[in-house]
Amino acid sequence: MKNLSIDPERLWDDLMLTARIGATPKGGICRLTLTALDREVRDWFKAQTESLGCAVTVDDMGTMFARREGQRADVPPIAMGSHLDTQPTGGKFDGALGVLAALEALRTLHRAGYETFAPIEVVNWTNEEGARFSPPMIASGVFAGVYRRDWACARADRGGETFGAALDNIGYRGAQRCGDHRLSAFFEVHIEQGPFLEAEDKDIGIVTGVQAMRWYEMTIVGQDTHAGTTPMPRRHDALLGAARIVETVNRAARQFPQAVGTVGILEVKPGSPNVVPGEVFLTMDLRDPDAAVIDRMAQEIATQARAIGAELGLEIAIKAISAEPAVRFDSGCVAAVRAAAKISGYSARDMISRAGHDAAFVSRVAPTAMIFVPCKDGISHNEAEYSSKEQCAAGAQVLLQAVLDYDRQLAERYGR
Closest approach, Cβ 7 to Zn ion, in A, equals 23
Check if the beta carbon of residue 65 is closer than 8 Å to that of residue 358.
Answer: no
Minimal CA–CA distance to 65: which of 110, 119, 121, 145? 121
Which residues touch 257 (CB under 8 Å, ≥6 apart)?
Answer: none
Q: Which is nearer to Zn ion, 140 or 397 (CB)?
A: 140
Q: d(Cα 275, Cα 230) in Å, to the nearest integer? A: 10
Q: Which is nearer to Zn ion, 95 or 395 (CB)?
A: 95
Strands 185-191 and 78-82: parallel
Helices (H), 352-388: 358-362
Site stretch for Zn ion (CB under 5 A), options 31-39, 93-101, 226-234, 371-379: 93-101
DSSP H helix total and E strand total for the chain: 12, 15
- Residue 232 gets which letter from DSSP? G
Check if the beta carbon of residue 131 is closer than 8 Å to that of residue 317.
Answer: no
Q: Which is nearer to Zn ion, 95 or 222 (CB)?
A: 95
Closest approach, Cβ 381 to Zn ion, in A, equals 9
Q: d(Cα 357, Cα 210) in Å, to the nearest integer? A: 8
Report the residue closest to Zn ion, judged by CB. 95
| Residue 405 makes contact with Zn ion by CB under 5 A | no
Closest approach, Cβ 86 to Zn ion, in A, equals 9
Q: Which is nearer to Zn ion, 62 or 95 (CB)?
A: 95
Q: d(Cα 164, Cα 152) in Å, to the nearest integer? A: 8
| Residue 94 makes contact with Zn ion by CB under 5 A | yes
Site stretch for Zn ion (CB under 5 A), options 10-18, 87-95, 156-164, 269-277: 87-95
Helices (H), 113-219: 138-143, 149-153, 163-170, 196-199
Closest approach, Cβ 146 to Zn ion, in A, equals 18
Compute CA 269 distance to the chain's CA centroid, rounded to the nearest angstrom. 30
Q: Which is nearer to Zn ion, 124 or 344 (CB)?
A: 124
Check if the beta carbon of residue 212 is closer than 8 Å to that of residue 146.
Answer: no
Site stretch for Zn ion (CB under 5 A), options 12-20, 92-100, 115-123, 280-288: 92-100
Check if the beta carbon of residue 90 is closer than 8 Å to that of residue 385.
Answer: yes
Q: Which is nearer to Zn ion, 90 or 278 (CB)?
A: 90
Amino acid, res. 302: A
| x/- map, 258-287, Zn ion, by CB under 5 A | ------------------------------
Check if the beta carbon of residue 380 is closer than 8 Å to that of residue 195.
Answer: no
Site stretch for Zn ion (CB under 5 A), options 89-97, 236-244, 311-319, 407-415: 89-97
Q: Which is nearer to Zn ion, 95 or 278 (CB)?
A: 95
Closest approach, Cβ 194 to Zn ion, in A, equals 12
Q: Which is nearer to Zn ion, 213 or 276 (CB)?
A: 213
Binder to Zn ion among 70, 91, 95, 174 (CB under 5 A)? 95
Closest approach, Cβ 128 to Zn ion, in A, equals 5
Closest approach, Cβ 374 to Zn ion, in A, equals 15
User: How many residues in the shown chain lie near Zn ion by CB under 5 A?
Assistant: 2
Check if the beta carbon of residue 213 is closer than 8 Å to that of residue 324.
Answer: yes
Closest approach, Cβ 373 to Zn ion, in A, equals 13
- Residue 14 gets which letter from DSSP? H
Closest approach, Cβ 246 to Zn ion, in A, equals 25
In degrees and rounded to multiples of 5, residue 51 shows phi and psi of -70, -20
Site stretch for Zn ion (CB under 5 A), options 33-41, 91-99, 181-189, 384-392: 91-99
Q: What angle do CA 183, 44, 115 make, to 5 degrees?
A: 45
| Residue 288 makes contact with Zn ion by CB under 5 A | no
Closest approach, Cβ 369 to Zn ion, in A, equals 16
Q: Which is nearer to Zn ion, 95 or 277 (CB)?
A: 95
Residues found near Zn ion in the complex (CB under 5 A): 94-95
